[in-house]
Structure 1
């Protein structure tokens, strides 16, 4: 018998990209819990001036190992209002993401799918701007899921990733990778530089940025990622 986890064992999501831009149900702006799990949940952030007549960009942002959904939300929250971006920040089922903890896709893929279904049902999303990203382990996992589901995610944002792993690749998402040249946690040569080169060889459009720093996301780096994702000048609140 095929279990729900077996259905997601390659990391493929079954949720379909947002379709026709139509008005959705009533909504509230600001931060709300996803209310998908009573122990390890997550958050959704809707920009203050969200209007269903103007499709919003969507970014799923993933925390690092041992982090929290709050950390994932904080990665781009300062840009959400000014750039009309809805943020989803799930919590990993364990201390980090499933492919890292158990060498297999499963419960985190399912939870992220549920969060996306919620957003697509409730809000009007621009299908040309659907991103998944994160920091550290969250960046690695974002690359894994993003490359597996490149027909859904148009942009991948990886702040200091450690690796990338896929069982199948779909689509050609655009990729932003940043890495500190003095990162002592995930060293730049076997991590950021290697990953960027690997993805370029696969024919992907990769915006790779190195900075003079450690395992961190300086403000100018997150700002550059936003400018790249939105296709316009960076705005913050």
Structure 2
């Protein structure tokens, strides 16, 4: 959902063209000045919306003939309000409410920019996140394959987590992970450098501290964040059905999960294991997109910590294959992909599964017909793989088949992930 724009405006005339990189180079005061421009444009757009609704347009042709003073937001509003669809109106109302909440979070961030950055170094990244979410929650951003209810649910959780992390860093009062029920975004101290690093958490409503439950550590994709994982209705539904707690570390953002990111992943695992009643024989590693690639980097560092590994819309590359084959020799692996994934090359995940199986590992392959790159477009295959992974016997009770010794890096025919920006979870 990241647009790479420092300040988002709803009117082209006042659109802020400064990139995030320029915001990082400039002081917080510069971004704050642009924020004033942003809020001024919102007030002007609201006035335009009132005019557009009052004119009572009947169709797009008449609307395009309206006086030039009506902005793009007013046109969109009039189209929605004259469509006769209550669902469209409800969706637009929800988007407006979420954008208002993001505006509050953005104001808090800018007012406390220096303190937040001193505490975490994350102020520019959080501003980028919120600015992109302002446009991402609009109904016009809903992908065709996603129903409106799921889209609103996804964004409602996303915005709540955005607000939570900003409020904690602004106030210096941090949430206790042990108190989490439902979804939250917290901060943990990294063992690498002592910095505060975000970690999103989902605790199902069924959680009973007297009974051990599974834990899934889930790695997010490129240009996404820890909150995208927890916001996914598909991930939360799978967690609810299996009574599993999900922890999604920020892991230094778009880090490709190289150190120190992998150290933070294991720190998040340790934090969750100490804070909840976790079944130590039911701890799993999962990842989507860059995170699917990342499980083959992070997992082999301490394979004894995991009972299974799931890669979604991302897998091994030539550089990570040998370590993965050696490290995962005793673990079951679950690979999930959509048949219409527009990012992962056709046949890539199947080739991963075949290589793992051919090397003596236990690999399971799931392909979602018509599925795209996003987790929520893979719901059936994803939940089947999730259930298969969590329902099997703990790996300590399974006699593994040793993998043959590696004799050089297997050539998968695919290079390491490109540094170019990847897709959002809505793609």
TM range (shorter): 0.7 to 0.9
TM-score by length of 2: 0.44
Q: Return the structure number with greater strand share.
A: 1
> 170, 185, 188: which one pairs with 1:33?
185
What corresponds to 1:175 in structure 2?
Answer: 333
Q: What SS does the aligned partner of 1:207 have? A: strand
Deviations 1:55-80 (A, max 9, x none): 11000111111111111222511222
Q: Return the structure number with greater helix share.
A: 2
Q: Which runs of 5+ in 2 are unaligned?
A: 1-176, 190-194, 393-427
Q: May I ask how many residue pairs the two structures share in their alignment?
A: 201
Structure-to-structure mapping, 1:51-90, within 5 angstroms: 51-73=208-230, 74=232, 76-90=235-249
Q: Aligned pair 1:128/2:281, yes or no? A: yes
> 50, 73, 77: which one pairs with 2:207?
50
Q: Aligned pair 1:159/2:312, yes or no? A: yes
Task: Say whether the 8 Å CA contact 2:337–2:349 is kept in structure 1.
Answer: yes
Task: Say whether the 8 Å CA contact 1:59–1:87 is kept in structure 2.
Answer: yes
Inter-CA distance 133–26: structure 2 relative to 1 (3 Å threshold): closer
| Structure with the larger RCO, 1 or 2 (CA within 8 Å, 6+ apart) | 1
Structure-to-structure mapping, 1:102-121, within 5 angstroms: 105-121=258-274
Q: Which aligned runs of 4 or more in structure 1 are off by greater than 6 angstroms?
A: none
> 372, 379, 382: which one pairs with 1:219?
379
Inter-CA distance 39–95: structure 2 relative to 1 (3 Å threshold): farther
| Cα distance between partner residues in 2 of 1:26 and 1:220 | 31
**What is the Cα deviation at residue 225 of structure 1?**
1.8
Of stretches 112-121 and 89-98 in structure 1, the one that deviates more from structure 2 is 89-98
Of stretches 165-174 and 67-76 in structure 1, the one that deviates more from structure 2 is 165-174
Larger Rg: 2
Q: What SS does the aligned partner of 1:65 have? A: coil
> 353, 370, 377: which one pairs with 1:196?
353
Inter-CA distance 162–229: structure 2 relative to 1 (3 Å threshold): closer
> 291, 294, 297: which one pairs with 1:144?
297
What corresponds to 1:229 in structure 2?
Answer: 389
> 56, 79, 91: which one pairs with 2:250?
91
**What is the Cα deviation at residue 39 of structure 1?**
6.6
Inter-CA distance 39–192: structure 2 relative to 1 (3 Å threshold): same
Q: Which runs of 5+ in 1 are unaligned?
A: 1-24, 99-104, 233-237
TM-score by length of 1: 0.75
| Cα distance between partner residues in 1 of 2:181 and 2:373 | 32
What corresponds to 1:20 in structure 2?
Answer: none
**What is the Cα deviation at residue 52 of structure 1?**
2.4
